[in-house]
Chain A
Amino acid sequence: MGDLEIRDLNQSFARDDGSRLVVLEHLSLAVQDKEFVCILGSSGCGKTTLLRMIAGLDTAASGSIILDGEEMKGPSPKVGMVFQEYSLFPWRTVIDNIAFGLEMKGVAKEERYRVAGQYLDLVNLSPFRDSYPSELSGGMRQRVAVARALALDPVLLLMDEPFGALDAQTRNMLQQELLEIWEKTKKTVIFITHSVDEAVFLADRIIVMTPRPGRISRIFEIDLPRPRERTNVEFARLRRDVLDLINQHTAIQ
């Protein structure tokens, strides 16, 4: 299972001048099991803050995050995360990075290498098993990061602009791969991006946020069949609609 419910989340930070910067305001959202949700918004709209709270890395001022009926307090092995920057441990080989979570869980060496090997296969990087992250390209590193997050078999996978630093070709390729992995593993995915194209390509639902204070502006249901064609007329129309909305927010700012 991977049903996520976010209830009335609020967060604000104190500014240097004593005023408060409201980052999230009365944010409520339900994400269904096995759903692929993209959160979209211009920078500073609080989308990363929201994701970090779901991950348990930050605490909300008020509100609650409930995963499969359980309130989340702090990081949990039920939630995997792929970060924006390169977060692989550079002192560990690819296989030892993927096996890290299992090692922390106390899984025996042989078993954790067997499981990690499966996820290595899943991201098509078996030949790089014993390489160090510094020997991999940016795209490969993020694929390892996906495998590492999946190795603990979480019900919810959080992704914070994971492909943001990659070139367009690699990015498109990884989006395709991610969808294949998602089909196979059927996790609930919350994916943050500020690429409208990426969101329309990946998501079941796109959640557009307004900046400061961060609120949900509109939710787009994308029911185009996968694999989606970027040149498709409907695809282009959706992309334009989402982009228009985001441009409005930016103009208001």
Chain B
Amino acid sequence: MGRHADTNGKDWRLGVLAVLLAIVIWQFIAAVIIRYPFILPAPTDVLSAFISLLQTGDIFLDIQASLVHFAIGLGLALLVGIPFGIIMGWNRRFESFIDPLIELLRPIPPLAWIPFAIIWFGLTSFSAGFIIFVGSVFPIIINTYSGFRGVPRIFVEAGKMLGCTKDRDLIRYIAFPAALPSVAAGIRIATGVGWMCLVAAELFGVSNYGLGQKLWFFYSLHQMDSVVVYMILLGMIGLAFDMVFRYYIDRHFLKWRTGEVA
């Protein structure tokens, strides 16, 4: 591994090169071939739109509003999904009872819940949060559940031999840590799905601010350069979530897996 390689042996300089190259080609196509910013704004158009948006300061209020929606949705999904997944994974009877219901609800696209979200919660942040919740709760349930299902029996028996015999203790000290990689993977997927639901969740006017809300707002004004600014922001913040989450979880909770061949 060289000085410019990351832990997977990939040379990060190549990645940066690809991004720069894409920007140059984009600029060329937009400014030289198409020359019509409504169809394809050039990177330079986007940059100047970004600067003027920064000056109004609205961008920060949009980020804040979106984060609130997202936090409501994901927070609720964690609160509901993890305990549900745990009980399903631990108790066969509960699994048999609840699994068909989950399998019926799960294929309904989160966005199909929008009408009821509006009827139940009105045009509020909770409405948007609810859509994000629907999108992110299932990956959390499914992964927590399969993580608990897959806890090797030998860990449970070893625990019992060492005086860890109550269900509550077995879940807390044995099953949860053993299932944590799977639970974390579920949360990561849920974060991604929830973030994708955000644009649509803000589309029906739950607030005056929000990244998704603004994206549609600028589309209706035909300011496509600003639309691209919000697209990029959505992508970057989603990426940042994923990176921070991965870094944090791997550092603090999954350190033990570093030596393992997964």
Chain A interface residues (CB < 8 Å from chain B): 55-57, 74-75, 77, 79-81, 83, 85, 87-92, 100-101, 103-105, 132-135, 148-149, 152
Measured CA separation A57–B157 after assembly (Å)? 7
CB–CB B259/A134 < 8 A: yes
CB–CB B162/A134 < 8 A: no
Measured CA separation A12–B154 after assembly (Å)? 22
B19 interface residue, CB < 8 Å from A?
Answer: no
Residues of chain A within 8 A of B177, CB atoms compared? 89, 91-92
CB–CB B259/A135 < 8 A: yes
B161 interface residue, CB < 8 Å from A?
Answer: yes
Interface positions of B from 223 to 262, Cβ below 8 Å from A: 255-260
CB–CB B163/A105 < 8 A: yes
CB–CB B165/A89 < 8 A: no
CB–CB A104/B178 < 8 A: no
Measured CA separation A90–B177 after assembly (Å)? 9
5 contacts between A and B (CB under 8 A): A89-B158, A104-B163, A132-B258, A134-B256, A148-B162
CB–CB B178/A75 < 8 A: no
CB–CB A104/B157 < 8 A: no
B149-178: contact bitstring with A at CB < 8 Å (1 yes, 0 no)? 000001101111111110001000110011
Residues of chain A within 8 A of B259, CB atoms compared? 132, 134-135
* Chain B: CB-nearest residue to A87: B158
Minimal beta-carbon separation of A206 from chain B (angstroms):
25
Are A134 and B257 CB-contacts (below 8 A) given A81-B158, A87-B158, A89-B177? yes
Residues of chain A within 8 A of B256, CB atoms compared? 90-92, 132-134
CB–CB A83/B160 < 8 A: no
Residues of chain B within 8 A of A149, CB atoms compared? 161-162
Measured CA separation A244–B158 after assembly (Å)? 35
Residues of chain A within 8 A of B180, CB atoms compared? 91
- Residue in B159, B164, B165, B169 whose CB lies within 8 Å of A74: B165
